[in-house]
Every structure is written in C-alpha cells, then in structure tokens.
Amino acid sequence: MSNSDALISRLHELQTEALDLVASAADASALEEARIAFLGRKEGRISLVLRELGRIDPSERAAVGAAANRVKGTVQAAIEDREGALAAVEAAGGVALDLTLPGRRPARGGAHPVAIVMEEIWEIFRDLGFTRARGPEAETEWTNFEALNTPLDHPAADEQDTLYLKRGGLLRSHTSPVQVRTMQAYEPPIRILAPGWVYRRDTYDPTHAPVFLQVEGLVVDEGITFVDFKATLAEFARRFWGPGTQTRFRPSFFPFTEPSAEVDVKRVIEHADGTVEETDWLEIMGAGMVDPAVLEACGIDSERYTGFAFGMGPARIAMLKYGISDLRIFFENDLRFLRQFGPDGRGGTPA
Amino acid sequence: MNISIRWLSDFVEGDLGSLEELTERLALSGFPVEGIQDFRQGLSDIVVGRVLEAQPHPDADRLKLCRVDAGTGEELQVICGAPNARSGGIYPFIPVGGVLPDGMKIRKAKIRGTHSFGMLCSAREMGLGQEHDGILELSGEYAPGTPFLEAVGLDDAILDVEVTANRGDLLSHIGVAREVGSVREGLPSLPGTTPVPFELRSAPDRLEVDGVTFVHEAPEDSRRFLGAIVRGVKVGPSPDWLRLRLRAIGARPINNVVDATNYVLFELGQPTHAYDLAKLHGPEIRVRRARAGEEVTTLDGEARTLTSEMLVIADADRTVDIAGIMGELETSVTEETVDLLLECAHFEPGGVRMTKKALGIQSDAGYRFERFVDAGGQERALARVLEIILATAGGELHPVVGDLHPRPWSDPEIALRLSRVEHLLGVPFEAERIGELLTPLGFEVVGADGDVLTVRVPGWRGADVTREVDLIEEIARRHGYDAFPATLGTFRPGTVPDHPLFHLEDETRRWMAGVGAWEAQTPAFVPAEQGEVELNNPLSTKEPVLRREILPSLLRRVEYNLARGNRDVRLYEFATSFRKGGPDGLPLEEPRLAVAIHGARDPGHWSASTEGFDIWDLKGWLEALAPRLWPGATVEPGSDLGIPVNPHLALVVKNAHGEVVGCGGVVADASVDLPPWAGSVFGIELRLPADPAPAPAIRATPLPTHPASERDLALLVADEVPAASIVSAARDAGGRLLEEAGVFDLYAGEGVPEGHRSLALRFRFQAEDRTLTDEEVEKALDRIVVRLREEFGVEVRGG
C-alpha cells in the first residue's frame, strides 16, 4: 500500500468517525467541539492529515488533496445540517419538532361585506370617470322630494314611506338629495356616485330594513343620451358580475327620471367542475334619464344638458353575490359571519 | 292589479299568446307580473253537481246526507257540513280522486258510519274567496257533470300585475289590454245584456231630472258629475258569470247593483256609486265641500269627521258620499232598495288623496281617483253600469241623465320635436314610426310641421303625459328599451372632486384590517337616553331617537358576539352622530369612527398563553390612528365626547388646534353587559373631519453622514410628575444637537424611594456636519440634567 492510499483510507475513517460525532452532538457546544476536533485549523484531525501531504510523492498529491477536500466538505455540510436541526429543536421549545402544527398568525380584520361591495362598485365607476359626493342624512322635503319632481301629494311620495324628525326635516329616503346639492353647486359635466345611508319606514324582514346603504350615480353633460345610459350601466354590470353578464332594461316609473328603467342582469356562473349556470334575471337597480324638471329645479338648462341617474342597494347586491337570503345578518355583525369576507374567507390552510 | 286573462282577451284583437309570452310582454312594457293564479290547473277536477235531495244525517246534527247527480249516470251519496246545502241546488262538486287547489286529494270517506263519495265545494276551498259562508251555490242552469270552469266561464288565469304610481289607467282591464295588444272597437258583449240609450241633460251647476235636483258647487274638485235614475229594481244576487268573474280577481260579490259598479271599476277603471234614491232628502244631489266637523258613517261602518277642505256628495241635508272614496251607510243600496240614483263622476287626484290620507281610508275607488281616472270616460262607464244593472236587477232607466259639467275635458295636445327625441334617446325616429308606436295606446298624431309633431293625448293619460318628455318616454317604451344600442362613447371628466372623506375612510379601513379589526354596520336608531334628535314617526317606541354616540351600538355588538361564543372581538364602524342645532332647523351631523376591542392582544397560538389588550395597546392605537385622521393630533390623558369610559383610564385626542376630537378608554362596567369571566372592553370614539384637508406634503430629509451618539439616563421622578413633562423639558434643554429623546424603561420598587419611580431615558445626539465629540455630548446631557433637577427636582439615579 502506498503512502497515498494509506492517507486516503485514513481520511475515510476519519470521515465516518466525524459524522457519527456530529450526528450525536446534543447541542450547539457539543457540535462546536466536534468541529474543532476534526476541522480545527491547528489540532483538527483532518487538518493534521493534510499537513502530511508534503511527505508524499508529488505525483499523488493531487489525488490525496482532492479526497481530503471532499471529506472536509462532507463533514462541514453535516455540521451545518446538524446546526439547522438543533436550531429547529430550539425553536420548537425543546420538544419534538412538528411543523404540521399551525403557525402564529398576525391579527387580521376586514371590511363589512356591504362595504366591500360598495368599494367594488366604486372602483368600477371610478374607472368610468366618476367621483364620489356626499351630503347630510337629514334633509328637507324640498331636496328629498320636491326638487326631484315628486310633489308631496303624489302617490309616489308614499311608496318610500319616510321617517320625519320631530323638529322638522326628514331622514333622506334615497341619496338623491346629494344629486340635487351637487347640481346646485357644480357646473356640468357632472359624473358622480353618491353612496350613503338612507332611511325608510320599513320594518325589518329578510329583504327590508329601515336603514340601509344606497349608492346612486348621476351623469349630466351635453349630448348624454339613452344610449350612453344603457352602455354605462351594461359596462358596469359586465365588470361587476363578469364578462358574460347580460343586461336587460325594463320600463318603470320614478318621478325623477324619464324615461325610467329597472335594470336586470342575467349572470353566467362557471362552477369549479366546468359546468356553466345561467341565472334568472335579477333586478339590481332603478335608473333613467334625468327628468328635465329635476335639472331645471337645480338650475341646469335642460335643453342644453341631458343626463342619467341610477340607484342601487349594495346590501341587495351583496345578497345576490354571496348567496345570502336574509339581510338582517348584515346588522348582527357576528364575527363568524364577518370573517367569511376577510382573508379567512378565501380558503387556504385552516387555523 | 289582478287581471283576468279571459276578461283581457275579450278586449284584444287576436291571440294574447301563452301566459309566459304575455308575462314577458307586460314586464318589458314596464308592468312586471308578481304572481299567476291559474284556475285551469287548480280547478279542472271540479264539475257541476246537482243535489237531488238533502236530508239531515241520522247520526250528526250538523251534517247533511245528499244525493248528488254529477252527470255520471248514477246518484252519489255525499255528506256535507254546509248549512246551505239544499235539495235542488247546484254546486261545484269534486268526485273521489279529484284534487283541490291546495293539493288535497278527495277520497271515499266514512263519516259517522255513512259513506261519502266526493265533496260539494265552497268558494274558499276553490281559492275564490275568504268567506266561511258554506258551499258555493250556482244560480245558472248547467247540466250536471259539466266541468265547473267551463260552465261558469272560469277557464281562466289571473295575473297580479304591478302597476306604477303614474299609471292609474292600468288599474283596469281595458288599460292593460291597450298595453298588450290592439283593442277592439266598442266594449265586449256580456251575457244577457244590451246597451241602453239615454240622453244627457247638461248644465255647469244646476239641473233637474225626474224630480231630483242636481247641484254642483265645486268645479275645481270635480270636472263632471253624471247621475242616472233607475226605478223599480230588484236587488239580489248577481248571475254566476258576474259573481265568479269578480271572485276570480279577488273581489267579493255583494248584490247585483253593487257588483255592476264593481265590474265597471275593474273593467274600465271608472268608479261609480249607487244611492238608494228613496233615502236621499230633497230629493237632491249636491257636489260640495263638507261642513267643518260634519259627521258621516261610511259603508265600512266607521264614523268619520270631515273638514271643510274635503269634497263630498250630499243630499238636501247631509253628506251621502265622501267624493271618490266611499259612500255613506244609510243611503247605500240594500235588499229593500227599489229606486236608484247612479253616480259616475270625475274627481281631481289631489283632493281625493288629501281626504283619503286625512281620514285614513283605503278603497278601490280612492286608489283610482288619486291616480287619475279617464277624464273623458264617464259617459261610457255609466252606460256600461246601466247595461249590467238593467239586465241583472231589472228596473227602468229614466231616459234623461243629469250631467253637471262645470269643466268640460278636451284632450290636450303636445308639441313633439323629432330633434329632441333624438337628443334624448340617441337614435333618430321618423314621424311615421312615432305614429305607429303611439297610436295603439290611444295617442293621435294630429299635425306635422317640419321638426314638430302635434300629438293628442287620450283622456286616460291626461295626468301622466303632459310634456314632450313624457311622449319621448312612451316612444322609447314602445320601441323597446332592448332595441336601443348600448355602445359606450367617450366622456368628459366631471367638475366635482372626489370627496376626501371617502378616501380617508378607505384608508382607515385598510389600517383597521391590518390591526385585526372588523367593520360593523349598525342602525342609527337608539333608546331615548342615547340621543337628542327625535323622530316624529319612529318604527319602535323603544328606539325613538337618532344616536349621538356610535360606541354604544358597537358595545351591543360586542355583547352579542360574546354571547355567541366569539372571542377577541374587535369591531369598528363609520357612522353619523346626530345632535340638535344644525343649519335650517336640521340636526347637526358629524361623521365619526367608533372602535370596540375586547380580548387578547394577539391571535392565540398553541406555543404560549396570550396577553389581554390593555390601556397601552389602546393608547398605541390612538397614537397611530389619530394623526392619520387629524394631522398633528396628540393623545393625552382625559375623557370627553360623552362616551361611557372610566375617566381614570381614558385618553383624549386633540387636533392640531387643541380641540378634542376623540376619546378612548376602558368602558365603564355599567355600560356593557359582559359575562363574569370577561375582562375589560376598550372603546374609542373619534370625530372625522367633515372635509379632510389633503395630507401635508412630504419632503424627504437626507440621511446623516456622521454617526450619532446615544446616552441613557436613569432618573428618579416623583409619581406626580408626568413622564411627558420630563421628556418635553429634556427635549427643550437638549438643544439643537438632541435628535431624539424617549422613555425606554420604568421601574419602581427596591432601591427607589417611596412616591417615586425610576424613568430610563435614551437620548440620541447628532450633528449634520461632523461627528460629535464626547465633550459636546456630555455638555448637552448636563444641560438636560440641570434643567430636570431645577424644574422637577429629578435626580439622576446612581449618578
């Protein structure tokens, strides 16, 4: 056996010995002792072997050197791996590490589902050039009815049975007063969304509440037509409900719009299994071309300017979107319900 | 409005199509069908049965044993509990095996030892009425075994059509017929009736017919009043076709005279009223305003007190009818009535509505008059009522009919610009096309001059079509909304800025999501002690006011969640606070944010027990949140804004002007109902700026190029000296070089004298242009120590 062969087999023996010691190191200091014992620059046993390199035939040095570096590398890698394992045990508090246990999650909250829907509606209309306007919740009969072409003795004023205040004024039954105030304060072009709470004298039932969020929109400019009206709302419907959504406009009556329409959508729902379901027509909003009497009441020349307006209830939209059959759950604010619309509602690993 | 398909098809040329098609057509015309009742499905098993003999049941007092001929060739034994089953009577009969509309299947039955093969039916069992008045006796002669529906003309379906408030004309079969098809000339013929001619005697305010004086004193309230005299009628039940047609649309038959008036109301939309002529003092009939305080008992048995604004019909002495709404009891038609005075009038919607509202009366007549009744339709409606009454109740019509006609109606004409049609609808319409669209509804293009058409409006649309735009809507509606293109064009940006408060709310929502809070939405109505703005007509006497503070609503939600086993509840809400004293007599409104926190600081983890949210967490939230809402805001000890917190564990938020804009703290025990194990609830209520200023512009500061020096000091501070004063004085004394000063530790106990605590402060000194020398830093630190000693008697610990 040549010197070099003897050295190489020596190195392999040392490797086996070193790996055993590393594997049995119980903590970081034992591991460090093992490292010094084998790889220590001065007294490390592998290092010492390498010092003997000078004594062998130069033609064989390269082979021995390579073998020595391999062994060094193997032992070094074993030490690093053991270090990681020991750190993991420490992280687990000294008990057996079980990474299937749940992680420590940061606190997480979220918006109310109706507010989420409101935001989605806003984002779509923002992209269509709208801004948001707001106004008071307590209003006068003039802004809530009369400016909107609704005489107080008309049956239409009854349909939204109104809550009045003892010292005068009323709680707005729609956010249309915001439209009135905006038209009085700004020159066209006007493209606004008016979100806000509205009040009606309805008792609570699965589809009614005496107070609910509404969002109305108003566009007033030169050359706005029934075609623009249809196009804008159909575009909204496609963006909100998905590209396959069909929109239907049915004639209706509101004192403040003429022509007036109810807007229905038919959604195309693609299920996870690839099947496609088409819903019935779902009524989502009331809308129409702004009645010239409304424009005139707000100081806008109705011969020059035309416009359209629409209104919808985000709670109703949320019911359709999330499959909720009783809107009273929105007022309960039960965390188990609210959480379904936050990060936890989006699937993933259960906590 | 309940619409009978058979009734409707009597008016329309050609076929109405299937129910589905008709429903769709109505929906796309603007009148959605809310419900369908199809008798052809529910009542097809029922046949006409004749009771050959009805005898008392041998073993039961209330039951009768009947022998029934149901056209099967054999007599059936049927047991019947109705008191009105009689020998020779004809009734709807359902044989064994038949199914009633409610799904009940008829089986052979044994009642008190006797078999029964089938059932004689009541109107209620067939879905034709609500009354418990025995089985439905038919008056016509029908062969036993004839299908019931066919025999009485009930092979029909009823549509519940939703009619918008502007379309009083659609509260009738003729009105709906105009919307769904082309209406025949003249009125459909009815079984056994013939039209009766009469002559009108017209005058604006006074006339006499057959000894009856007619007077009209209120031309503003009623443009026309027709009165016909019929003598020698025999009041009794109506024939089957009339009774059952009324029943089918949900009306209750009364007698042949009243049924005739109701029939015309549902057919033409014109209410009429029959008086017992013998009971009219004078005899006189007078259209006038009521006398203030005049009392009248209406047909529903209610005593009513009238005011002088209300229009009535009176005889020589007293009110006999509240005009257009409801008749008076004593002068109404009964079984004894022989001579009739029939009224057919037009009343103005505003007055009828005012009276209806003031008296709280609902009636079919009032519902129609307040929505406008065909202004030119009285003569035809009266002729129709007379035709039915003379055929069903007999009697003789006086050939002259009184016609008080103070304000004759003429169909209005409206100028319609073709250019305006395109301007509004975005699509050009030619004159000819407009004619095609409008004519079937009764409009008439009577003139064309270049761009302008003249369109005549029929009397039944006299109230809702008064302007050019009303006609344009009709054009769009008849053309079909779906037939218009929906191509998105270009648009100009608007002049209205996005309201910054929305943006602030959105930002706050994101912040709240990051700290684990969930948004709540709660109603604004609260108990009387929690607000000052009272509702006039609250929904509940328990919650008669609008809230002043928002936090209490959230505390109720915390309780609700804890009661349902939810833990670690963090809720926030944006809402409006209402107080007295706003502009124009309205309340003062303030946008607010409320937060309620209960439970652990962090979400629980199996590796450690969790610590509760505490006052320092709350303060940290306020310190982080407040400047986002109010730039420059500070947080200090204190309590305000009316929220129920323990004043010793409370903090206020002040804006840059020093105004209190918010408060947070530990909610007082009495204000929240928690289970005994639950710790404190923390509450925050913050005003939001009504019109937030844009966030201050940010200017970046270059980073220092020289290292900073840090020094720590442990200070013995008397308990009554606030830490904030120490830090602020230290900052002041530290001079230009002191970049930062803050508390990093607090200790009390061994080694610290009684009534003191040890406050550890860390100072960071920095110069822009050089590395500070130890001498410079020590000098600055000495200034601080001297200042704190002089001002607060503070000693350096171990110094």
**Contact: A258, B470; criterion CB under 8 Å:** yes
Helix (H) or strand (E) holding A8: helix A3-24
How many helices (H) and strands (E) would you count in chain A? 13, 11
Give burial (CB, 10 Å; 0-12/13-18/19+) of B386: buried
- Facing A132 at nearest CB: one of B498, B546, B561: B498
Contact B713, B781 (CB under 8 A): yes
- Facing B560 at nearest CB: one of A131, A251, A332: A332
The mean per-residue pLDDT over the stretch A248-267 comes to 95
Q: What is the 3-state secondary structure (H, E, C) of B585-596?
A: HCCEEEEEEEEE
The pLDDT tens digits of the residues spanning B56-94 come to 888 777 888 888 988 888 888 888 888 888 888 899 999
Check if A239 contacts B (Cβ < 8 Å). no
The pLDDT tens digits of the residues spanning B120-142 come to 888 888 888 877 778 888 887 88
What is the pLDDT at residue B251?
92
State whether ipTM is beyond 0.85: yes
CATH fold match for the domains B2-40+158-180 and B413-482: yes
Residue bearing tokens 């003092």:
B281
Q: Of the candidates B463, B503, B405, which has an alpha carbon nearest to the alpha carbon of residue B207? A: B405
What is the pLDDT at residue B492?
94
Surface of A (240-299) touching B: CB under 8 A: 247-253, 255, 258-262, 289, 291-292
The pLDDT tens digits of the residues spanning B634-671 come to 999 987 767 888 888 999 999 999 999 999 999 988 88
- Facing B485 at nearest CB: one of A186, A203, A227: A227
pLDDT band at B723 (very low <50, low <70, confident <90, very high): very high
pLDDT over 70 (residue A158): no
Surface of A (84-113) touching B: CB under 8 A: 93, 101-112
pLDDT band at B440 (very low <50, low <70, confident <90, very high): very high
Superfamily (CATH) of domain B199-404: Phenylalanyl-trna Synthetase, Chain B, domain 3 (3.50.40.10)
Name the token pair of A344: 């936890």
- Facing B427 at nearest CB: one of A101, A129, A227: A227
pLDDT over 70 (residue B714): yes
* Cα gap A249→B202, rounded to integer Å: 48
Contacts of A131 in chain B (CB under 8 A): 494, 496-499
Mean residue pLDDT of chain A comes to 89
- Domain residue spans in chain B? 2-40+158-180, 44-153, 199-404, 413-482, 500-687, 709-796
The mean per-residue pLDDT over the stretch A30-52 comes to 82
Find the Cα–Cα–Cα–Cα dihedral B373, B374, B379, B385, rounded to 10°: -50
The mean per-residue pLDDT over the stretch A116-135 comes to 97
The CATH number of the structural domain formed by B44-153 is 2.40.50.140
What is the pLDDT at residue A13?
86
pLDDT band at B696 (very low <50, low <70, confident <90, very high): confident
Q: Of the candidates B147, B136, B232, B151, which has an alpha carbon nearest to the alpha carbon of residue B191? A: B151
**Contact: B371, A235; criterion CB under 8 Å:** no
- A277 min Cα distance to partner chain B (Å): 21
- Facing B469 at nearest CB: one of A203, A232, A291: A291
* Cα gap A36→B764, rounded to integer Å: 42
What is the pLDDT at residue B761?
95
Q: Would you call B484 helix, strand, or coil by DSSP?
A: coil
* Cα gap B302→B295, rounded to integer Å: 10
Contact A133, B496 (CB under 8 A): yes
Contact A22, A71 (CB under 8 A): no
What CATH number matches the domain at B500-687, 3.40.640.10, 3.40.1190.20, 3.40.50.10140, 3.30.930.10?
3.30.930.10
Check if A232 contacts B (Cβ < 8 Å). yes
Angle at B262 between CA B256 and CA B264, to 5 degrees: 105
Give me the CATH topology for the region A113-344. Answer: BirA Bifunctional Protein; domain 2 (3.30.930)
Name the token pair of A5: 């062969």
Contacts of B692 in chain A (CB under 8 A): none
- Domain residue spans in chain A? 3-91, 113-344
Helix (H) or strand (E) holding B787: helix B774-792
pTM: 0.86
What CATH number matches the domain at B2-40+158-180, 2.60.120.1140, 3.40.109.10, 3.30.56.10, 1.20.950.20?
3.30.56.10
Amino acid at B468: E
Amino acid at B42: G
Give me the CATH topology for the region B413-482. Answer: Phenylalanyl-tRNA Synthetase; Chain B, domain 1 (3.30.56)
Surface of A (112-171) touching B: CB under 8 A: 112, 114-115, 119, 122, 126, 128-134, 136-140, 153-156, 158-159, 163-169, 171
* Cα gap B765→B771, rounded to integer Å: 10
Instruction: Look at phi and psi of residue B148 and say left if phi exceeds 0, alpha if psi is from -120 to 50, else beta.
Output: alpha
Domain B709-796 has CATH 3.30.70.380: yes
**Contact: A226, B476; criterion CB under 8 Å:** yes
Can you say how many angstroms the Cα of residue B493 is from the centroid of all Cα atoms in its chain?
Answer: 35
Strand partners of residue A329:
none
Q: Would you call B280 helix, strand, or coil by DSSP?
A: coil
- B405 min Cα distance to partner chain A (Å): 26
